[in-house]
Amino acid sequence: MTIITTIEDLRILAKKRVPKMFYDYADSGSWTESTYRANESDFQKIKFRQRVAVNMEERSTATTMVGVPVAMPVAIAPTGLTGMQHADGEILAARAAQKFGVPFTLSTMSICSIEDVAASTGGHPFWFQLYVMRDRRFIESLIDRAKAANCSALVLTLDLQVLGQRHKDLKNGLSAPPKLTLPNIINMMTKPRWCMGMLGTSRRHFGNIVGHVSGVSDMGSLSAWTASQFDPQLNWGDVEWIKNRWGGKLIIKGIMDPEDARLAVNSGADALVVSNHGGRQLDGAQSSIEALPAIVAAVGKEIEIHLDSGIRSGQDVLKAIALGAQGTYIGRPMLYGLGAMGEAGVSKALDIIHKEFDVTMAFCGRTRVSDVDSTILLKGSYPIAI
């Protein structure tokens, strides 16, 4: 067996083991995918300053995110259809995150339900990501279920009022529920490990929705409901309503502009996430790392700032922290690990990112996350606020 040393190794293995329609769902962007690609390539442009003869003993990668102690400044990002990358995927990823000591964020569009994940983690707190639907009674119910499941933070995603056009999904027939076309069925038959896992679980639908919405009792009735539910009228007044209903830690995800960052601060949120949805929404937008400095300059002293979209290594995490983020999220690296090797693959992805973060921090002459700033980066190689 090939020795796994990088996130790229996990990606290659996941591509072999996960059916094409679900692998493409994870590993793609909208329209021309220019923003999807820029999210990664803009990280690569940033260079470190190597330092020597600095005492590197007793390093620590530990810090906090919204007051939660974390083993490193990384959380598992919310990703839809995670349970289609591997059977019971959300449960497995949550267990891996819990063991490692980083937050796991469950998506509204998960396969395993809030209750499934809560039961599998022994009541250990996790975070829940909320999409705002037109059906406000359903949103109230989701928030109440997240409270009952001991979720310790609500991650409110604001950049999915309309759906970006994702060409691979359209060509593959990826929908809710997925279309079992002849090409898809034939491709699934070439993935016996995945098929056996799916045969062994009853969790094959959107667990947070099916059975919890009037008239949606199975996958067949789900499609029409989801097609009409993402709310294009979502506004900051809704954010205030959600914050009051939730009453706990609130993280606002999908901020790419300093003006919206200011509105996030005014909403009373505890943190915001600089994110372009992994390049899956507005193609032609800035990369997340390019957008970060201006947002830090605008509101960095008033609200905790996190970042996702484009992180593929511990070095990327360190670059984001150096430019002012206090935490980051990994989506695709987790999905690659899950698709490749289940729970062990997610643990492996976290191990890889942690080691890369720790060793690179040492090479840059730092021993604590709190000591990391832009002086570890080569001037002229990183974006600055304009």
| 79 marked as part of a ligand binding site | yes
User: How many angstroms separate the CA atoms of 147 and 149, rounded?
Assistant: 5
Identify the pLDDT of residue 225: 79
Q: What is the pTM of this model?
A: 0.96
Identify the pLDDT of residue 175: 73
User: How many angstroms separate the CA atoms of 61 and 312, rounded?
Assistant: 18
| 131 marked as part of a ligand binding site | yes
User: How many angstroms separate the CA atoms of 345 and 146, rounded?
Assistant: 27
The helix (run of H) or strand (run of E) holding residue 183 is helix 182-189
Q: Position of tokens 């021309």?
A: 32
With H, G, I as helix, E, B as strand and everything else as coil, classify residue 272: strand
| Residue spans per domain, the chain | 7-376
Identify the pLDDT of residue 322: 98
Identify the pLDDT of residue 26: 96
| 23 marked as part of a ligand binding site | no
Q: Write down the catalytic residue from 86, 205, 277, 354.
A: 277
Q: Position of tokens 């206090």?
A: 326
Identify the pLDDT of residue 18: 98
Average pLDDT along the chain, 386 residues, taken 10 residues at a time: 90 98 96 98 98 94 98 98 97 98 97 97 93 93 97 97 89 78 92 96 92 75 75 93 97 98 98 98 97 98 98 98 98 98 98 98 98 98 94
Count of alpha carbons within 13 angstroms of residue 63, beta-carbon side:
23
The CATH number of the domain covering residues in 7-376: 3.20.20.70
**Number of continuous H segments (helices) and E segments (strands) in the chain:** 15, 10
| 129 marked as part of a ligand binding site | yes
| 309 marked as part of a ligand binding site | yes
| 183 marked as part of a ligand binding site | no
| 49 marked as part of a ligand binding site | no
With H, G, I as helix, E, B as strand and everything else as coil, classify residue 186: helix
| 11 marked as part of a ligand binding site | no
Our answer to whether residue 205 is catalytic in this structure is: no
Q: Position of tokens 């705002």?
A: 132
